[in-house]
Chains A and B, each alone.
Chain A
Amino acid sequence: MSTKNSNAPVKEVQGKTEVQEEVKTKTLRHWKVVLYNDEDHTYDYVVSVLVAVCGMAKEQAFRCAVEVDLCGRTTVFYGSHEDCKNVAAKINSWGPDHRLLRSRGSMNSAVEGD
C-alpha cells in the first residue's frame, strides 16, 4: 500500500513530464512554411506577400520568388508549429494577384516538419 502510494505520484509526475516533453518538442521542433508555385501570380505579388507576412527584406523575398518559379516550391518561414500555421493561413488568404485578370485566388502554402 505504502509502496503503491509512494509510486503513484511518481508515475503521475513521469506522465506529466512525458506530456510536457511532447508539448515542448512540438513547440520547439523546427517547422517550416513551404510556398508552392503556380502561373497565376507575379513576382511582385510573391514579394509583397513575403515582405508583409514573413517580414522578409525585399531582396530576400525576390530570391524566394525566383526559387519558387524555378523549383516549384520554396521555404519562406521557419518557426514553431503555431507560428507556421499562422503564416501559412495569412499567405493562403492574401487574395488574388490584382495585376493579373486570370488570378482568382491566393497562392498555396503548407506547414511541413523540418
Chain B
Amino acid sequence: MEQLVLELLNELNGGNPPLREPSDLALLSTRQLLELGDRCPTELLPLFVRFLKESRGGPRLFDKLMGEHEEENRILVDRFFSRYMELVMEPAEVDFNPLAMYLLPEMFHDLALIQTREPFFKRQTIVHINEFLMLHFELNEGFAPGEQDQAWNFFFGELLKV
C-alpha cells in the first residue's frame, strides 16, 4: 500500500524531486509540499499525513504545511486543512446521543472502564443523560438540568447492582 501511494504521489509531483520513501517528503520545498497536498485525493490525505509523520520532519515540516505563514500560500493551506478536517472529524451536524453511541451495554460489566468515562458522562446535556438512562434502566422521572452528578451516581449505582 505504501509503495502504491508513493507511486501516486510521484505521479502527482511529476517525479520532481523523486519520492522513494516517506521521509523524502521532508525534502520538498514549502510550495512543492502544499501543491502535492492540494493534488492528493481527499480520501488519501490520512496516508499523506501519515507519511509526513513518518518522515520525522518535525516542526520544520509543520511550518511548511502552514505555508510558512505567508499570505501567498494561504489558499493552499486553508484548502488542505479544510479537506482533511472534513474527512477525519465527526460530522458536527449529526444529532446523536454520545452516551448511547459510546457507552454500550456490553461495556457495563467493565466498571474500571466505565469509571474512567465519568467526566465524559457529566459533560453531556441532561436531555441526553435522561434519554440514555431511560433506555437502559428503570428511571421514571428524569434528572433536572445541573443534576449531572446525581445522574452519574444513579448510573454507577445501577451498574453495581448487576
CB of A71 within 8 A of CB of B119, answer no
Chain A residue, CB-CB nearest to B112: A104
Interface of B is mostly: helix
List the A side residues contacting B107 at CB < 8 Å.
Answer: 101
Chain A residue, CB-CB nearest to B53: A70
Interface positions, chain B 44-77, Cβ under 8 Å from A, are 49, 52-53, 57-59, 61-62, 65-66
Interface positions, chain A 66-94, Cβ under 8 Å from B, are 66-67, 69-72, 93-94
Expressed in whole angstroms, the Cα–Cα distance for A105 and B113 within the complex equals 10
Q: Contacting A105 at CB < 8 Å: which of B57, B89, B116?
A: B116
**Shortest CB–CB separation between residue B122 and chain A, in angstroms?**
9
CB of B89 within 8 A of CB of A66, answer no
CB of A69 within 8 A of CB of B117, answer no
Expressed in whole angstroms, the Cα–Cα distance for A105 and B117 within the complex equals 9
B156 interface residue (CB < 8 Å to A): no
Chain B residue, CB-CB nearest to A43: B88
With contact pairs A62-B89, A93-B119 given, residues A69 and B103 touching in the complex (Cβ less than 8 Å): no
CB of B53 within 8 A of CB of A69, answer yes
Q: List 17 A-B contacts (CB under 8 A).
A: A43-B88, A43-B89, A58-B85, A59-B81, A59-B82, A62-B81, A66-B49, A70-B52, A70-B57, A71-B58, A71-B61, A72-B58, A94-B119, A95-B119, A96-B116, A98-B117, A104-B116
The winner among A59, A63, A98, A99 for most chain B CB atoms within 10 A is A98
With contact pairs A62-B89, A66-B49 given, residues A96 and B117 touching in the complex (Cβ less than 8 Å): yes
User: Digit string of A46-69 for contact with B (CB within 8 Å is 1, else 0)?
Assistant: 010000000000110011001101
Expressed in whole angstroms, the Cα–Cα distance for A63 and B85 within the complex equals 9
9 pairs of A and B residues whose beta carbons are closest in the complex: A95-B119, A98-B102, A98-B120, A62-B85, A96-B116, A71-B59, A104-B116, A67-B62, A71-B58
